[in-house]
Amino acid sequence: MNKLYTIVGLLLCIMLPFSAISQDNNEKKEKKKKERKEVNPNFKHKFTTFHLEARAAFEYDYDVTKWSNITNPLNPVTGKAEQHNYGFHGDYFNFLLGGDIGDHISYFIRQRIIPHAGTVNFFDNTDYLYIQYKFNDQWALRMGKEALFVGGFEYDAPPIDVYYHTHYWGAFPCFHLGVSAIYTDKSGKNKVVLQVANSPYVKYVDNDDNVHNNWKKGLFSYNLYWAGNFGPFHTLYSINMMEYQRGKFINYIALGNQLKFNKWSIYVDYTNRAAGFDKFFNDFSLASRVDWHVSPSVNLFAKGGYEQNTSGQYYTINNTDVDVDMLMPNNRSYCFYGLGMEFRPRVYPDLRVHAYVANSVMTPTSGYDADASWKNQILTANVGVTWWLNFMRFLPEKLK
């Protein structure tokens, strides 16, 4: 019996210090939690976006380029009769992350994962990297990198959802650092944004010193944007002043109009660009897309557009004349049109299969004094898949 008491006593002697240590650790943890709450009792974080997205396709291009000798079509760059180009390729691989910090602060990041270094600054391959402070339900201030606020539904769509497009869309470097003041009315139907950011033309200015310092050229854009939501009718309008040289601007007036119903939708975008009042309607882009949602899994669409630049405006870089509007070649018109479909399996709607056929034609405008037979035409067939890997669906408890 004495031996039993001795053993129990020894065990208690061993366990009591560990128990005291464990209790002390618990007290320290509770104290730290309390201290954190006292430092910022309102701090809380919630992920709103956390996923990867990628798009890949098989594409076949038929170059119907014609010069004066129709029997011997030549590539205008290589001078060779190369009419067929096809193969598998990847278009996008993006990482997206966003969240709310407390009741007033939010952030969003979209990073393109590509093996190429930037040409202007460190954030070249970062589309979005901003933080936003929401004062109340009406007013917010946003700082960082995002898309310039230019109207139009083609421009507004995520690039991964745009298969073929206007020449303007493909040439516009739209993601820039800046600051934006955002106002939303009490009804939630109208949003107005005033933004000051770097001009997209920092991509094209004289780079005789160092291309990485182009953002220091002092070129800015001033953008006023309105998004309206009136039942089936939606608007994305903007007025933009963008410097192409210090103190010299090209003006955009972008008018995006959309009708949206349960089974179908249509948008019509008109974007006018002018470096002077006498050049209005000489340089513009017109684009439209119709979608018919046959079922929750199947969508059929048709898209087309027309663009032209007959402004004849130039400015000089190193004694060389350069187009003021570098998004659409001068003295050219561009027409494109096509049909396509999208399919999302009901069991896994984060997977999308697409297919489309599109034709594009670039021609000289009337009155252009070059060879009138010049013409560039590309017929494209594309089949591909897009995948969204949404981590928030797999890790719901961890992300709360």
pLDDT at 80 over 60: no
* 57 alpha carbon, distance to own chain's centre: 19
pLDDT at 71: 42
pLDDT at 29 over 70: no
Question: Which residues lie across from 305 on neighbouring strands?
Answer: 287, 336
pLDDT at 365: 75
Residues 6+ apart with CB under 8 A from 33: none
User: DSSP characters for 43-83?
Assistant: --EEEEEEEEEEEEEEEEEEE--B-S-TTS---TTT-S---
Per the listing, tokens 């019996």 go with 1
DSSP state of 151: -
The band of 70, judged by pLDDT with boundaries at 50, 70 and 90, is: very low
pLDDT at 68 over 50: no
Output the pTM of the full model: 0.83
The secondary structure element, H or E, covering residue 8 is helix 2-39
pLDDT at 277: 72
The band of 323, judged by pLDDT with boundaries at 50, 70 and 90, is: confident
Looking at residue 165, its amino acid is H
Residues 6+ apart with CB under 8 A from 214: 120, 202, 203, 205, 207
**Spatial distance between the Cα atoms of 243 and 205, rounded to a whole number of angstroms:** 10
**Spatial distance between the Cα atoms of 101 and 110, rounded to a whole number of angstroms:** 18
Phi, psi of 30 (to 5 degrees): -65, -35
Question: Which residues lie across from 146 on neighbouring strands?
Answer: 176
DSSP state of 201: G
pLDDT at 14: 56
pLDDT at 331: 86
Dihedral angle over CA of 62, 328, 91, 266, nearest 10: -90
